[in-house]
Homo-oligomer: A and B are copies of this chain.
C-alpha cells in the first residue's frame, strides 16, 4: 500500500466565464467539483496505475462531506482514511476565461485544526505507516498546524522504515528537509526560495546538502532534474507540449513514488514521472491524465545521465 498525506485537502471547483471583468456581474458556467489537494491528486494517479493507495489528512463540514462522497465514486479510488474535523474543508475556484483560456484562481484558506484533531491524525498516521511501502507528504499546512509538522511526519516515517517523499514549499519544506526525507520534488521557484540559487543543478545540490537524500526538481517544459545518491539524471518529454499544467507536478510525484515502491531504477522512475506529468498537461480535464497518451509517451522520454558530475556531495 502507498500512503499519501494531504493536511489541507480542498474541494476544487472549476467554471468558465465569457470574460472576467472585475467589479461587474457575470453569468458563469456550471461549477464542476473534484476532490483536491496535492496528496489526493497523487493518490488518484497511483490508484489509476493500479496501486493500492490510502489517503489521510483532514476533511470536515459540508464541503468535506462532498469531497469524501466524490472520492468514493471515483472509478479507481484510493481508500479514505481522512480524519474528520469540526472545521469546513476549503474550496478553490478556477475560473477559465473563455475568451483567452487563461485561469483566474481563487483559494479559500484552510480550516483551523485543533490540537486534538492533530493528535487524532498522528494516531491514524502511526497506524497506517507499518503497512505502507512508501509515503508522500503533500501540499500546504492548514491554520493551527505547527510549521515543523512535516519534519515530525518525516521522522515518524523514517522511524518506521518507510521511504518518504516531501512535496511542499516555504518554511514547512525548509524544516521538513532537516528531518532527512528520502526525496523532495520542488519546482524551480520552491528550490530558489529554499536555497537562494536559481541555477537548477546548483540549487538542487544545495537542497541535498540541507538533508534531502534525493532531489527531483521539476523544471516545467524542460522536464525533471534528479540529483540522488546513485547519480544525476535529466529527463525530458519527446517534445514541448501545450496544455493545462494543473496537477502535472502531482502526477510526477505519483510516478516517482510508484517507481520507488516497485523498485524501478532511477531512469525508469524518471521516465514514468515525465510521461505521467506530460500526459496530465495534455489531458482535457485539469489534473486528469490519459492512459493512452501516457503509454505512448513512456518509451519516448529521454533520460540522460550527467556523467562525471557525480552526486556533487
Minimum CB–CB distance from A119 to chain B (whole Å) comes to: 24
A100-128 contact mask (Cβ, 8 Å, vs B): 1 or 0: 10111111110000000000000000000
Contact of A97 among B17, B23, B93, B107 (CB under 8 A): B23
A69 to B108, CA, bound (A): 22
Tell me the bound Cα distance from A69 to B95 in angstroms.
27
Q: Count chain A residues whose beta carbon lies closer than 8 angstroms to a beta carbon of B.
A: 31
B23 and A109 contact, CB distance less than 8 A: no
Could you tell me if B25 and A107 are in contact, using CB atoms closer than 8 angstroms?
Answer: yes
Partner of A22, one of B20, B27, B62, B66: B20
Which residue of B15, B27, B66, B109 is within 8 Å of A62 (Cβ)?
B66
Interface of A is mostly: mixed
Task: State the CA gap A31–B93 with chains docked (Å).
Answer: 11
* B-facing residues in A35-59 (Cβ within 8 Å): none
* Given contact pairs A15-B108, A66-B62, A108-B15, A102 touches B22 in the complex (Cβ within 8 A): yes
What's the least CB distance linking A193 to chain B, in Å?
16
Whether the Cβ atoms of B109 and A30 lie closer than 8 Å is yes
B22 engages A108 (CB within 8 Å): no
- A107 in contact with B26 (CB, 8 Å): yes
Tell me the smallest distance from the CB of A67 to a CB of chain B, in Å.
11
The reply to whether A104 and B27 contact each other, CB–CB distance below 8 Å, is no
* A24 contact set on B, CB distance < 8 A: 104-105
Q: Which residues of B contact A103 (CB under 8 A)?
A: 23
Contact B23 A108 (CB under 8 A): no
Complexed CA–CA distance, A106 and B106 (Å):
12
Q: How far is the CA of A97 from the CA of B23 in the complex (A)?
A: 8
Contacts A22-B20, A22-B22, A104-B22; A27 near B66 (Cβ below 8 A): no
Does A74 sit at the interface, judged by CB under 8 A? no
Apart from A23-B97, A23-B102, A62-B62, 15 more pairs, CB < 8 Å: A20-B22, A20-B104, A21-B22, A22-B22, A22-B102, A25-B105, A25-B107, A26-B104, A26-B106, A27-B107, A28-B108, A30-B108, A30-B109, A31-B108, A95-B106
5 interchain residue pairs of minimum CB distance: A23-B102, A25-B105, A20-B22, A28-B106, A62-B66
Contacts A/B (CB < 8 Å), 10 sampled: A17-B106, A20-B104, A22-B97, A23-B97, A23-B104, A24-B104, A25-B104, A27-B109, A28-B107, A62-B62
